Amino acid sequence: MFKIDFAKYDYILMIIICTCIIFGSFMVFSSSVVMADIRWASPYKFFIKQVLWVCLGFVAMFITSFLIDYKFYQKYSKIIYFLTLVFVVIVLFVGVSRLGAKRWLFISFFTVQPSEIAKVSMIIIIADFISRKKDLMDKWIALLAPSVIILLMLVPIALEPDLGTPILIAGVCFTMLFCAGIKIKAILLGLVSIMILMVEEIVRKPYRLVRFKDYVASFINIDASSYQVKQSLNALGSGGFFGKGIGKSQLKLMYLPEVHTDFIFPVIGEELGFVGSSFVIIFFMYIFFKGLKMSKYMPDTFTKYLCLGITCLIVFQAIINLSVTTGVFPAKGVPLPFISFGGTSLVINMAAAGILINLSQYSKRIL
């Protein structure tokens, strides 16, 4: 009979992640209830959807935590990468368009965002590359293959258009390569290439150029910030130390549409104050240091960089989201992991967290 030995996994990590996900669901309800009631006469619309996605996410997290061994990812890394690349390309032709972007594939009664799957696929393929070519990491040739692998995936995603996801994926992959010992000059060359592509994409889309100009101007005059950022800062500032209380945010009263997605953190700051905001930040700091510590004790090179990559993926997303909502980075749509309303993004992040939980069994044996 199949039996899972839960004791060998890091239960503290599991509890903290699950607590954050449940907290996020309640914050989605709090931030979306007014807007959902006004637009659709259904205050529970987004909360019900979030609960359904969370349930699906818990199934995915259970599977990646307890039913799939890490050797599966390494064995089928090329197939996972290729299938993801196929879906990323297909979405450009038959994808569902929303707000001027074609990023979703309609499957049965729900939509899937292939670029979210690409985040984990890229970590798996780069971890596999490092494990197979670790003796070449100090040579220039080591940058060629991963650069091709990364660009093949990032170009179609950028054409959706989506600039935030390519930046995130490139950041995670180059961090993995840097930690693997690739030449710093090679990393800088790769980053310069990515920055050139970013500049080209910003100039190519007028709305991105406007956002960037507003961002630069905000360093001189905060009033030049985008409307979203100004409303976000007002909400965070008005929350004070302990906040106004659950459900008492004014930002969600249609001052900023769709606050339950990318701008949910200001609602947390307004309702729960500095204390609530700090707990969110502490959670991601815990994931960061926990993941780094775990990666040191992995059984082989592949798991070491798989663990590092998943950790960076979760934390980098949080850094980008928090930086955008506080005006540190230009406005860009990146959800807050485990907390923002989301479909594919939430499920993929929960599945990625499951991989971390699965890998925790190896570090726990040593620690």
Per-residue pLDDT at 224: 60
Question: Is the bond leading into 161 cis (omega within 30 degrees of zero)?
Answer: yes
Q: Which residues of the chain have pLDDT under 70?
A: 1-2, 99-100, 108, 218, 221-225, 257, 364-367
Does residue 4 fall inside a structural domain? no
CA–CA separation, 345 and 267 (whole Å): 20
CA–CA separation, 327 and 218 (whole Å): 8
Per-residue pLDDT at 199: 76
For residue 88, the tally of other CB atoms under 10 A from its CB is 26
Q: For residue 338, which phi and psi values (nearest 5 degrees)?
A: 70, -15
Range of the domain at 273: 79-334
Per-residue pLDDT at 24: 95
Q: Is 187 exposed, middle or buried (0-12, 13-18, 19+ CB in 10 A)?
A: middle
Per-residue pLDDT at 168: 92
Does residue 52 fall inside a structural domain? no
pTM recorded for the entire structure: 0.92
Per-residue pLDDT at 222: 66
Per-residue pLDDT at 354: 97
The total domain count for the chain is 1
190 contact partners, CB below 8 Å, separation of at least 6: 143, 147, 170, 174, 177
Per-residue pLDDT at 1: 46
Does residue 261 fall inside a structural domain? yes
Does residue 357 fall inside a structural domain? no
Per-residue pLDDT at 200: 75
Does residue 211 fall inside a structural domain? yes
For residue 8, the tally of other CB atoms under 10 A from its CB is 12
